[in-house]
Amino acid sequence: MTTASRRLVLHIGPHKTASSYIQVNLKKGGRVLGNGGWLYPSEGTESLGAHHHLAHNANEYLPAQAPYRNVLKTLGETARAKGQSIVLSAEGFCRWKPANFDVLSGLLGFDTYELVYVVRDPLDVFPSFWAEEVKQGRSMGLAERFAGEFADPMKSRLLNPMRDLNPLLARDRAQIHAVPYDILKRRDIDIFENLTGAILDLQGFPARHAKPVNVKYPIELTEFLRLMTLIHGRGQPNIGSDLRLKFTQLVSVEEQRELQTLVRKHAHNARRVITVPGDSTLRLGVENILKARLKDNWSIDVGKDEPLFSADPRKFVHYDAYLLSTAEPVRQAAEAMVQRLMVPERKT
């Protein structure tokens, strides 16, 4: 079975909007996709079957002499011969220059393309994105990161999705599908099923892999990991993800719980809370802009007066790094953990 009119659809994220969940289901649902005339190709993929290699290495695929350019051309020719549409997914696509999508679609043999962008409440995205940065080896604290982004929120790509969307909406060959993350959650609609049903026109394609793909640490573990990063990196802003990967692999869940308790018990005076009121100018301003610009792009009907995001105030919990480091049991545990994970064993 093939689609009547072949299509190229790219799910472009952004980060912290259930992308890994969508990608795992797309990879596992290859047979159902195929029966519906869709191909979720392996070309350009890395972990989880997402097209991260393509998204993060456009220069290796798109230019005239790029080493993987023919991979895309062959993929496009094969799909065209079988009458297949193509769907790709990677959060890194949202950082592409808009013109790259024109080049990609041409290499794959499509005159037009469709971009799927998930719109999630920026006040929920922000702390999750910061926590992910810590896991990737960055040492900046939440308060400092918060101050930098909120100083001019309308110019922030984290806080104002239109920074990503405006250049894409201006492309003549592109159709934009905006997926309202929070409305789907409020209505108890699975985001993967919305994507496959409303956008790919595949009805009755249930999500089958609901287990969370990415581990979410409680704030105490995130801050403990950040303290380890500061100790190991001697204050460097970014040391990479090696420390966190070893922490995940070698520290048991039970020991992680003990570290969480240790921070709570001995560093309670370092605990801080940033509160953003529900009626903040940021939330209302961003929401009004999104509803005005995307009124014809939503993947589901959005009521004229229906809020995109929750009006509840947000509380961002974090720990002051200096005070955390002065809690002696916590600092000793962090130093011991760095020594355990990062110092190679001596050969005898």
Digit-coded pLDDT (tens) for 274-293: 999 988 888 889 999 999 99
Mean per-residue pLDDT, 11-33: 94
> What is the pLDDT, as a whole number, of residue 282?
85
pLDDT in tens, 164-200: 999 999 999 999 999 999 999 999 999 999 999 999 9
pLDDT digits (tens, 9 = 90+) for 212-265: 567 789 999 999 999 999 999 998 899 999 999 999 999 999 999 999 999 999
pLDDT band at 211; cut points 50, 70, 90:
low
Instruction: Count other C-beta atoms under 10 Å from residue 186's C-beta.
Output: 14
Q: Tell me what the pLDDT averaged over the chain comes to.
A: 93
CA dihedral 218, 223, 229, 235 (to 10 degrees): 160
Structure tokens at 175: 């159709």
Q: What is the pTM of this model?
A: 0.92
pLDDT reading at 344 higher than 90: no
- Residue 283: the pLDDT is 86
User: What pLDDT, on a 0 to 100 scale, did the predictor assign at position 261?
Assistant: 98
CA distance 272 to 262: 17
Burial class of residue 123 in the structure, from the number of CB atoms within 10 Å of its CB (0-12 exposed, 13-18 middle, 19+ buried)? buried
Q: Looking at the DSSP assignment, which residues form a beta bridge with residue 128?
A: none
Q: What's the confidence (pLDDT) of residue 348?
A: 41
> 129 by DSSP, 3-state: which?
helix
| pLDDT score, position 347 | 45
Place of tokens 């200096």: 322
**Dist. CA 53–CA 90, nearest whole Å:** 9
Candidates 28, 50, 58; CA nearest to 214 is 50
Average of per-residue pLDDT across 134-156: 94
Q: Is the predicted pLDDT of residue 12 greater than 90, yes or no?
A: yes
Are 182 and 120 in contact by the 8 Å Cβ rule? The answer is: yes
Q: Determine the Cα–Cα distance for residues 168 and 74; give it in Å rounded to an integer.
A: 26
Sign, CA dihedral 209-214-218-221, equals positive
Residue 88 CB partners (closer than 8 Å, separation 6+): 8, 9, 10, 11, 40, 41, 44, 51, 54
Structural domains in the chain, sorted by start: 8-122+157-199 (3.40.50), 219-274+314-342 (no CATH)
Dump pLDDT digits (tens) for 65-104.
999 999 999 999 999 999 999 999 999 999 999 999 999 9
Give the other-Cβ count within 10 Å of 15's Cβ.
18
